[in-house]
Amino acid sequence: MQIEGRAPIFAFPAAAPGPRMIAYSLLDLSPIPEGASAADAFRHTLDLAQHAEAWGYKRYWLAEHHNMSGIASAATSVVIGHVAGGTRTIRVGAGGIMLPNHSPLVIAEQFGTLESLYPGRIDLGLGRAPGTDMLTARALRRDLATAADQFPQDVIELQIYFDDPEPNQRIRAVPGAGLKVPLWILGSSLFGAQLAAHLGLPFAFASHFAPDALIQAIAIYRERFQPSQQLDQPYVVAAANVIAADSDAEGRRLFTSLQQSFVRLRRGTPGQLPPPIDDIDAFAAPQERAGADHSLVYSFVGARATVKTGLENFLALTQADELMVTGHIYDHQARLHSFEIAADVLRALVKS
């Protein structure tokens, strides 16, 4: 990808003919723009989900974060219910639930409830990070010393709750038991790839903000995959930011909202999603810009043709089975337009 005024920060191979991508989906954090409220964010999330359903996105995932004034999806299962209740066919789920923050039984009951209300449409993606800072993680009242280490056992416990109960099983998820809500392992390192392979679960990599281990993690997952009751062959989802507009210049300007957010996060001063600016270099020092560029390397920014080339090459690089696109854009109408362009591009790639 070429960043204006800089050398390419990642060298993509030439696109392979016939990309393997068979579906495209959308990740949303219910961002809260500056001057807006969480209520505004939820209205925009539902509106985007309804449009995404019409545009052919396969699933609409929401992510758990806490104590972040720019993200409204902290009570993730509640927001999933809001979206599922306002749509008809699109799969809705968590991308993901940060399981160390929760009792597996509580999550089984929450997602058993969602599956009972919206049968056949609920996904449960699981991560082991806290989705927040350490002080807030302590406020969530899980044992920080062991919670992350317990992640594999917690995933297996969830599987048991969603499976058909044994005759003498004393603890059951009600609702949840027997519903077999599909589980996904989310990751940004090799750990998640190995766990997903061992358990025979689909694997989604957070390459939209943590690109470094993407290719190695996918390779390990595919090499070590063991078939399970849920999945008989490996299934990879790769995530990327898409900021599409009617021109490259407008796309780059819209992208500055996400760039500012990353720089502010690294400064320890996160906030609501800022409006775009004309010159990101006037906001960020060179080392800050370099750090943001590295984290956001899998970001495809610009007009339709530019985004198409970037997504084609990303799919050739990853050979992903599914692409999960996301994009923090300050203006809601511009955000809708970006995801509509992305859907048009991806439909064309699927047919090619």
Question: pLDDT tens, 37-83?
Answer: 999 999 999 999 999 999 999 999 999 998 889 999 999 999 999 99
Mean pLDDT of 175-183: 97
- Give me the CATH topology for the region 23-351: TIM Barrel (3.20.20)
- Alpha carbons 181 and 174: distance in angstroms, whole number: 13
% of the chain beyond a pLDDT of 90: 82
- Alpha carbons 158 and 169: distance in angstroms, whole number: 14
- Alpha carbons 207 and 240: distance in angstroms, whole number: 6
Where along the chain do its domains lie?
23-351
The DSSP result for 224-272, as a single string, is H----SS-SS--EEEEEEEEE-SSHHHHHHHHHHHHHHHHHHHHT---S
Question: pLDDT tens, 252-263?
Answer: 999 999 999 999
- Alpha carbons 188 and 325: distance in angstroms, whole number: 16
Amino acid at 213: A
**In this predicted structure, what is the pLDDT of residue 2?**
30
Instruction: Confirm whether pTM is higher than 0.85.
Output: yes
**How many other C-beta atoms lie within 10 A of the C-beta of residue 303?**
16
- Alpha carbons 193 and 216: distance in angstroms, whole number: 9
- Alpha carbons 328 and 261: distance in angstroms, whole number: 9
For residue 15, what pLDDT band results from cuts at 50, 70 and 90?
very low
User: Per-residue pLDDT for 9 more than 80?
Assistant: no
Task: Indicate the Cα dihedral angle 186, 191, 196, 198, nearest 10°.
Answer: -170
Handedness of CA 275, 50, 107, 185 (dihedral sign): negative
**How many other C-beta atoms lie within 10 A of the C-beta of residue 324?**
25
- Alpha carbons 218 and 314: distance in angstroms, whole number: 13
- Alpha carbons 203 and 235: distance in angstroms, whole number: 6
Residue with tokens 């960020």: 284
Chain centroid to Cα 67, Å, comes to 18
User: Per-residue pLDDT for 131 more than 70?
Assistant: no
**In this predicted structure, what is the pLDDT of residue 4?**
32
